[in-house]
Amino acid sequence: MKELLVLSLAFYLVGLIQAGLVFLQKPRFPFYATITSSLAGFALHTVALIIRGKQVDRCPIALQPELLLFLGWTLVLYYIIASIWNRNQIFTNYVFPFAFLCTIIGVLLPLPSIAPLGLRVGGSFLFPIHVSMVMFAYAAFFITFITALIYIFQERQLKLKRFKSILGRFPALDTCDSISYKSTSIGFILLTIGIVTGIIWSGQRYGVYWHGDPIEIITMLIWVNYMFMIHYRVTAGWRGRRAAIVAIVGFAFILFSLAGLKYLGRVHVFVG
Amino acid sequence: MSIILVGLNHKTAPVEVRERLAFNETMLAPALRGLVQSGNVSEAMIVSTCNRVEIVAASQSEPSVTLQQVCRFLHEFHHLPTFIYNDHLYTHADRLAVRHLFRVASSLDSMVLGESQVLGQVKTAYSKAQEVGTVGRILNQLLNRAFNVAKRIRTETEIGSAATSVSSVAIELTKKIFDRLDNKKVLLVGAGEMTELAARYLINEGVKEFLICNRTPERAMELCEKFGGEVIEFSQLKFQLPRADIVVCSTGASDYIINATDCKRALEIRRYRPIFFIDISVPRNIDPAVGKLDSIFLFDIDDLESVVSENLRQRQKEADKAETIVEKEVEAFFERLDVTEIGPTIAALKEHLTEIAFAEFERTRPKLGQLSLEQEEAIKQHLLTSLVNKFMHPMIMTLREGSRNTNENYNIVELYHEAYNLKDRIANFEERRTGKDRRVDVK
């Protein structure tokens, strides 16, 4: 399985280099070259995830490296769909390095071949829906985060009148803003579905809906954060820089829940 | 054979001189015909624009003779005393002429370095000359090469990439903020020349809706008729501000006419959708404090001009790279030109000599006794062929040299044709080649 992933990373290199070329404003690879190689990488990536699922006989999105691999997979999926949708949108290229990063970290982290305690979760279809929805939501928020970074950097440069560093390199501010709004809304809906299915699943399995473990708490914080972001956009016209800051804060929570929570003791219901 | 170029441009001649030597649309055809009929100019082309007049000609005689002829033609055609333009004229022959043409086509010789218009102008001039029928083998090659060079320079250097006028820089910055402009509303404050120019640029980018505000409504009405849109009373300016996505301001007012309080209000009404202000008036008409607000981007004339001068500096840097490309291409052009001209001669000569060598070998063959297949091969492939090549080497050299410096009395290529009786052979080549082409076409 690792070999497949390494191979798919090799295919992803093309997209990664393309992102660099866009950033450096050098002549780019033709569209079909990047799209074919990312499709090839994506296919291998998918097969690897399926093999992993067969190996451990459960939904392969539960452990940290698995989550990262799935997140990377989702971002590549976004890249493929978005770049077929609109070839000229240069933003899509900037998603790729992050997809690559998620995948490579997922590959590098040690992957236990035996499922830890309590992870024999087969039976209910709710568990895979719960995890994949949350992960899809995180991928959407990842995209919001990237637009926020680009927005803030560009806005800063424009205000300081340093035009050279940004001209032609990044998408327009209002493009960033509209991609951000769309992905946040989609992410928010998915996260809501993910949380609700998680609660129902927990109730079915353990008879308890809310365990109060760190992951649950932080996920609720994330949910509140993005709700806040959407709410203020609609009511008070928070967009642009302010929205970008909220998006970055929200994403910090997500990173923390993906990476940092291991160190906070009992992690999430099924792991504990 | 020689290629020459006679011309004058914005650097060497003032407009009073340029306009008197210019060839307008109707003069071009007679001028081109006149050129090729005068003396022994065999091919000619004229590029005549507001910044330059360039006459490119090819002939079989010495460059100096051709240059004289073209200058005389210029004098006779325009009926001008030579003292008017003689000091402004430049004349180039061969390498320098080709180099100059390449530089013109690649916009290295333009007023605004790297602009793209001049290539189009050269192309038009070329197709005009094709139409009249005054271009032949040499100029066809030369111009195709020139277009390639221009294309190569455009892709390999960044000479044409950055905007070099205040208006185009403003447009570029607008596009950093708004992805598309066709659904944006533009408020023009002041109805002078500058705002009109800006409006034209914006229309080019797809802007459809204008709000026009001027102290004297008559002038605003005038612009309104030109571009469509809505006239706003000057006193209503700050109340209309929330409707605008882009504000272009250029008035003669001596004070700020848009201040931060107005903008704050406007932003609240707009729910913080961004506004882009361009203040091209001096003294400035928009309070610089406006630019500090969130979601507002304000640029004044200095900001835009600093980008322009930075871009021009950048282009200058890129121009150095382009010059190197031009030098290389000039060399490449002459090498290929020589080869194409003497190519058939060399091939025919080689065939002729090889035939003789092989025939002699066959004649002596019986006397050589028993030879293995390898030995026979070695004699044919190595000994005879390399002998022919060695014999030919000085001939090729003299041909090459001679083809560059031909004059009317002495043509080395012709001499070879006669001495070795190559004419039929070359004609035969030509036939075979076109025959092959035809077959390819059918496929």
**pLDDT surpassing 90 at residue B103:** yes
> A219-225 — which CB contacts under 8 Å span 24+ positions?
A219/A134, A219/A191, A219/A195, A219/A257, A220/A195, A221/A253, A222/A141, A222/A191, A222/A250, A222/A253, A222/A254, A222/A257, A223/A188, A223/A191, A223/A192, A223/A195, A225/A249, A225/A250, A225/A253
Predicted local confidence at residue B186, as pLDDT: 93
CA B3, CA B103: separation in Å to the nearest integer?
Answer: 16
What value does the mean pLDDT take over residues B335-346? 73
CA B380, CA B359: separation in Å to the nearest integer?
Answer: 11
What value does the mean pLDDT take over residues B52-62? 89
Predicted local confidence at residue A120, as pLDDT: 54
Query: Considering B50, B71, B213, B224, which one is annotated as catalytic?
Result: B50
Q: Which two tokens stand for residue A47?
A: 């097969």
Cβ contacts of A166 on chain B, cutoff 8 Å:
176
Q: Which two tokens stand for residue A20?
A: 């660099």
Is residue A153 within 8 Å of residue A248, measured between CB atoms? Answer: no
Contact: B274, A175; criterion CB under 8 Å: no
ipTM exceeds 0.85: no
What value does the mean pLDDT take over residues B393-404? 78
Q: Kind and range of the H or E element at A218?
A: helix A214-236
Q: Which two tokens stand for residue A97?
A: 């390095």
pLDDT-derived band at B339, boundaries 50, 70, 90: low
Crossing angle for the helix pair B423-442 and B301-364, nearest 10 degrees? 120
Is residue B207 within 8 Å of residue B184, measured between CB atoms? Answer: yes
- Least CB-CB distance to B179: which of A163, A175, A239? A175
Cβ contacts of B299 on chain A, cutoff 8 Å:
161
What is the dihedral sign for C-alpha A62, A66, A72, A78?
negative
What is the dihedral sign for C-alpha A172, A178, A179, A184?
positive
Predicted local confidence at residue B442, as pLDDT: 38
To the query of whether residue B50 is one of the catalytic residues in this protein, the response is yes
In the chain, the amino acid numbered B141 is: Q
Chain B nearest CA to A244, separation (Å): 12
Predicted local confidence at residue B56, as pLDDT: 94
Interchain contact B272–A (C-beta under 8 A): yes
CA A174, CA A189: separation in Å to the nearest integer?
Answer: 23
pLDDT averaged over chain B?
85
Interface test with A, best of B154, B156, B176 (most A CBs within 10 A): B176
pLDDT-derived band at B275, boundaries 50, 70, 90: very high
What value does the mean pLDDT take over residues A129-149? 92
Cβ contacts of A176 on chain B, cutoff 8 Å:
none
Query: Which of A232-246, B43-57, B411-425 is the least confident region?
Result: B411-425
Question: Residue B296 — φ and ψ, nearest 5°?
Answer: -120, 135
Question: Residue B34 — φ and ψ, nearest 5°?
Answer: -60, -40
Predicted local confidence at residue B297, as pLDDT: 92
Is residue B122 within 8 Å of residue B47, measured between CB atoms? Answer: yes
What value does the mean pLDDT take over residues A46-75? 85
Q: Taking Cα atoms as reference points, which of A28, A8, A14, A15 lies closest to residue A169? A: A28
Is residue B319 within 8 Å of residue B114, measured between CB atoms? Answer: yes
**pLDDT surpassing 50 at residue B443:** no
- DSSP 8-state symbol, A259: I
Contact: B295, A241; criterion CB under 8 Å: yes
How many CB atoms are closer than 10 A to CB A23? 14
Question: What percentage of chain A reaches a pLDDT higher than 70?
Answer: 91
CA B378, CA A15: separation in Å to the nearest integer?
Answer: 55
CA A219, CA A267: separation in Å to the nearest integer?
Answer: 12
- Least CB-CB distance to A240: which of B176, B294, B299? B294
Is residue A216 within 8 Å of residue A266, measured between CB atoms? Answer: no
